[in-house]
């Protein structure tokens, strides 16, 4: 086994976890170098990601940059680096994931078990680096999924304390509590050989398969096929929206048979009548005009 240098950007909330410290010690025992950088305040993930880029350029030879946190931490790292690299230039190191968030949707897609942190870090040190696509929305990048509509509001507004207690079920609880505030989101969506105009309850553009704590919104998505999976859940007939929402949160789109729209696309545009919030790997953006595309095999991921 070749010796690897792992640079771990660790969410400060997890810095005191015994299993994280044990995982680092175990991987070092295997002969690998693990340099740890811990976040303390907003902006630290971006700063530390770009610091890793500079260290690599100066000869430090980082083999893998590991995201120690949730989907949002991985999103921040990838977006921070791609924003400063020349267009379509690939990252100079592979990426790895240490799943320490609440939902860990991307980690679940690549088969990591958040209950075994030591195995996850060992995987980041030993697994093959495989090419992977990255999504782009209005110049910002996402790794797993961009979501919009009512489900996005639920993800953004779910109480962190509730998430710690209930895990993914917290999203369902919040969604049902806020259902009375639901209003239709009117949009025009255009892609290759496809268009949609009307009101939708939820919309997902997936490089990965699930979001919001295990909700399978794009179950056929592949991380390296050069396509994004588009899922549109139109607003149903009056009186059926609550049942549809509960079914979506409980079973994903696979539990919905009527009215669902699913397409594989390389790029699409979305225009909404009113400002709407999109989440990029859980991180919010607001606006009315959205240009979405895929960057094929732009990064390499230990998966």
Radius of gyration, CA atoms only, the chain: 19
Q: Which of 51, 60, 190, 283 is catalytic?
A: 283
Q: Are 249 and 215 a contacting pair, CB within 8 Å?
A: yes
Pairing of strands 194-206, 210-211: unpaired
Name all contacts of 194-198 with Cβ < 8 Å and 24+ positions apart. 194/263, 194/265, 196/232, 196/261, 198/234, 198/235
Instruction: Please give the torsion angle defined by the CA atoms of residues 272, 174, 142 and 140, in that order, rounded to the nearest 10 degrees.
Output: 50
Closest CA to 135 of 123, 145, 127: 145
> What is the distance between the alpha carbons of residues 94 and 117, in angstroms, rounded to a whole number?
19
299 alpha carbon, distance to own chain's centre: 14
**Phi, psi at 243, each rounded to 5°:** -65, -40
The span from the first CA to the last CA of the chain, in angstroms, equals 17
CB atoms within 10 A of CB 1: 8
Structure tokens belonging to residue 253: 């789109």
Is 250 one of the annotated active-site residues of the chain?
no
| Residue at token pair 């860990």 | 104
Active-site positions read 283
């Amino acid at each position: 086994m070749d010796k690897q240098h792992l640079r771990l950007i660790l969410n400060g909330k997890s810095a005191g976890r015994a299993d994280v410290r044990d995982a680092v010690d175990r991987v070092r025992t295997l002969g690998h170098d693990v340099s740890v950088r811990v976040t303390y305040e907003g902006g630290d993930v971006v700063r530390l990601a770009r610091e890793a880029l500079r260290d690599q350029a100066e000869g430090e030879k980082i083999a893998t940059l590991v995201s120690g946190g949730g989907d949002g931490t991985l999103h921040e790292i990838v977006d921070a680096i791609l924003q400063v690299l020349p267009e379509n230039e690939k990252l100079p190191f592979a990426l790895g994931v240490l799943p320490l968030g609440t939902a860990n949707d991307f980690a679940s897609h690549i088969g990591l078990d958040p209950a075994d942190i030591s195995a996850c870090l060992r995987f980041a040190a030993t697994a093959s680096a495989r090419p992977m696509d990255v999504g782009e929305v209005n110049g910002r990048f996402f790794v797993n999924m961009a979501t919009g509509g009512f489900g996005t509001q639920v993800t953004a507004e779910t109480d962190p304390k509730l998430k710690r207690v209930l895990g993914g079920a917290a999203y369902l609880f919040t969604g049902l509590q806020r259902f009375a505030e639901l209003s239709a989101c009117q949009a025009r969506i255009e892609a290759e050989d496809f268009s949609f105009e009307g009101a939708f309850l939820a919309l997902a553009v997936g490089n990965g398969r699930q979001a919001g704590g295990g909700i399978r919104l794009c179950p056929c998505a592949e991380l390296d096929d050069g396509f994004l999976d588009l899922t549109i859940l139109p607003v149903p007939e009056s009186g059926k929206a609550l049942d549809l929402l509960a079914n979506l949160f409980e079973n994903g789109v696979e539990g919905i048979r009527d009215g669902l729209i699913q397409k594989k696309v390389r790029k699409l545009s979305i225009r909404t009548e009113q400002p709407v919030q999109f989440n990029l790997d859980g991180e919010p953006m607001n606006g009315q005009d959205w240009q979405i595309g895929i960057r094929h095999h732009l990064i390499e991921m230990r998966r």
